[in-house]
Amino acid sequence: MKRLLTMTVATLALGGAAASAQTVGFSQIGSESGWRAAETTLTQQQAEERGIDLRFSDAQQRQENQIAAIRSFIAQGVDAILLAPVVATGWDSVLEEAQEAEIPVVLLDRMVDSDPSLYLTAVGSDLVHEGEVAGQWLVDTVAGEDCRVVELQGTTGSSPAIDRANGFRAAIEGHDNIEIVRSQTGNFTRTEGKEVMESFLQAENGGADICALYAHNDDMAIGAIQAIEEAGLAPGSDILVVSIDAVPDIFLAMSEGKANATVELTPNMAGPAFDALDAYWNDGTMPPNFIQTESRLYTQSDDPMAEYEARRDLGY
């Protein structure tokens, strides 16, 4: 009921002003990884393209900074707030304040534990689905032939590591020709990806018994590719390489034939968010509670060099 009221008021207040420049506040977690830097860059690009005045705030990994930023956005009377929350809990009161000020909030990339009525929508990827896409690619590629797979997992216990492992397993389920023979954590880093891959190669007859590598992120795959090369094998042909994220460097490897496929975790969360906001501002269209971004599969046939060029300046 309250939500309906908010919506109506917002429509009345803003409906006519949709054509003029909107102001959106964006509270970003920080810049802890290349992916997040790219997310920030893309959000700014998207805002510029749409003529939106973006107010950016870097929280440096602290929730209190984010809460302060949101309060400041409310005080400035922005038209909407984008929030990439650093933790899942503790957002209720500040989200209620935004609601009382009739400012819609869109969550990017991560979820919160608050009631869905407190925010307009959330944009994010489905980690399990990403693993499924990678697994499906392998199923299609080996086409029934026997394949022994080694897996480089993310940081033990982290949700991307768990979900991407489960998704992959779900996709290869029922395809008895594909078997995961070794699975170890590479902590999402290049160095450990390389080190663990070296041990896989040692353990699997110098790599001769390995048909494919599944890495939970591209960085580990890039480290592993170096280990495979140094072992005298050809990554991409002797051992198939599939990973997740679609960072620029994996496209470089793909263009050289050393990696086969990657599943994109798009840093463009802002695009769908702005689309939903535009619709909402224009005629009060309520978006669904969760907008899932596309987990697109890229292979060597997708002009990897062009993809690399398109991404290299995003701050990865």
Partner 1 sequence: MMSRTLRRIAPQLVTLAVLAALISVVFPGFLEISVSDGRLVGPVIDILKRGATVALLAIGMTLVIATRGIDLSVGATIAITGAVAAWSISNGLGLAGALSLAIAVGLVAGLWNGVLVAIIGIQPIVATLILMTAGRGVAQLITEGRILTFSHDGLAFLGSGDVLGIPVPALLWPVTGIAVALLMRRTALGLLIEAIGINRRASALAGINARLLLIAVYMTSGLCAALAGIITAADIRGADANNAGLWLELDAILAVVIGGNSLMGGRFSVAASLFGAMIIQTIDTGILLAGFPSEYNLVIKAALVVAILVLQSPRLASTWIYWGMRLRNRRAADAARIREAGE
Cα–chain center distance at 48: 22
Closest approach of Cβ 156 to partner 1, in Å? 5
Which residue in 255, 185, 194 sits closest to 221, CA to CA?
A: 194
**Per-residue mark of binding to partner 1, 249-268 (x: CB under 8 A):** x-------------------
Q: Segment 184-203, which members bind partner 1 (CB under 8 A)?
A: 184-185, 187-192, 194-196, 198-200, 202-203
Sequence-distant contacts of 254-257: CB under 8 A, at least 24 apart: 254/298, 254/299, 254/300, 254/304, 255/300, 255/304, 255/305, 255/308, 257/300
Q: Which is nearer to partner 1, 200 or 280 (CB)?
A: 200
Map the footprint of partner 1 across residues 231-250, applying CB under 8 A: 231-232, 249
Residue 156, interface with partner 1 (CB under 8 A)? yes
Among 100, 140, 179, 230, binds partner 1 (CB under 8 A): 230
List beta partners, residue 50. Answer: none
Secondary element (H or E) of residue 212: strand 212-215
Question: Closest CB to partner 1 among 30 and 284?
Answer: 30
Q: Using the rule CB under 8 A, which residue among 45, 226, 255, 300 binds partner 1?
A: 226
- Note whether 223 and 200 are within 8 A (CB): no
CA pseudo-torsion sign 65, 66, 69, 70: negative
Using rule CB under 8 A, residue 32 touches partner 1: yes
Please, what is the minimum distance in Å from the beta carbon of residue 249 to partner 1? 6
Q: Pseudo-torsion of CA 96, 97, 100, 106, nearest 10°?
A: -70
**Does 315 participate in binding partner 1 (rule CB under 8 A)?**
yes
- Residue 316 in contact with partner 1, rule: CB under 8 A: yes
By CB under 8 A, is residue 217 in contact with partner 1? no
Gyration radius from the chain CA atoms: 22
Q: Which of 40, 27, 2 is nearest to 78 (CA)?
A: 27
Contacts with partner 1 by CB under 8 A lie at 31-34, 37, 153, 156-157, 182-185, 187-192, 194-196, 198-200, 202-203, 206, 219, 222-223, 226, 230-232, 249, 315-316
